[in-house]
Structures are given as structure tokens and as C-alpha cells.
Amino acid sequence: MNPEEVRLIESILKVTEKAVEGHPWMPCHNDFHSHNIMLQPHSKDHEERLLAIDFEDCDLADPMWDLAYLTVNVEMERDPCQLWDMYGASLDEKSRARAYILLAMAHCATWAAMRGGPWVQHQKEMMIRILGVVELS
């Protein structure tokens, strides 16, 4: 990452910290993206249902982090209302999820930059998406 990108991510960290201060703490997945959601098919014992997998990052956090992270993963950060309404998010929860959007994107960009190689392109794409959301703000 170049110094300008690092400064942008540092500012995202500071802004997010202030925006979500005092959030509730409860058990959260903390890596909630589409690859960690499985569909269990209908059987004689149960209806079709969604299951979360891969709980190695599970810890106490704000559940709106999980919602924001999923929002970024499915590329709905510019218009997340439909997903958040399906979740049943309150106005306060939507406000916190919105605050986490840029942080989730920064997390993805940083993760990709640290891995290098084929992930460099993903890091560049995430930085472009971050700038697009910043322009909307």
C-alpha cells in the first residue's frame, strides 16, 4: 500500500472508532461473508436453512460489524438498505453498520495487501471502492 492509502485507512479507523463508541458487545462471527454461509438442503427432519461456518474468529463484538462485512462482501455498500431491512436492523443499528462499511473495506484491502501476489489486484479494487464510498459521503 502506498503512503496515501495508509493515511486513508488510518483516518477510517479513527472515524469508525468515534462513530461506534459504546456499541453493544455480544458473540459475533467476525468473518461473516458469503463463503462462510452454507445452504443446508431440505430433508425429512427440517426445512432448507442457512448455516454459518468457520467460527475461528468468533469473539465479542458489535453484531453490526458482521452485517457491514457481509454487505461489503456482496458489494452492496453503495445501497445496503435491502440487506439491512431483511436483517431487521433498527435505525441505530443501520447507523453503526454504515460506520463499519469503510472499516470493512479497509480490512479487506489491508488483508489483500499483506498477502501480495494475486491479492494485489483485490487490494487495488478495494481501494477504488473505498474512494467511491468516500465520495458519496
Q: Is the pLDDT of residue 3 over 90?
A: yes
d(CA 87, CA 91): 12
pLDDT of residue 46: 79
Grid cell in block for residue 7: 493515511
pLDDT of residue 30: 87
Asked if residue 129 lies in contact with residue 105, where contact means CB atoms within 8 angstroms, the answer is yes
Looking at every residue in the chain, the average pLDDT score rounds to 91
pLDDT tens for each residue of 56-81: 999 999 999 999 999 999 999 999 99
Model pTM score: 0.85
Cβ neighbours around 83 below 10 Å, total: 16
Segment 90-102 shows an average pLDDT of 94
pLDDT tens for each residue of 27-50: 999 888 888 899 988 888 878 888
pLDDT of residue 95: 93
Stated as kind and residue range, the H or E segment containing 66 is: helix 63-73
pLDDT of residue 24: 85
pLDDT of residue 68: 96
d(CA 40, CA 44): 12
d(CA 19, CA 78): 19
Q: Is the pLDDT of residue 136 over 80?
A: no
Q: Is the pLDDT of residue 82 over 80?
A: yes
pLDDT of residue 42: 82
pLDDT of residue 67: 95
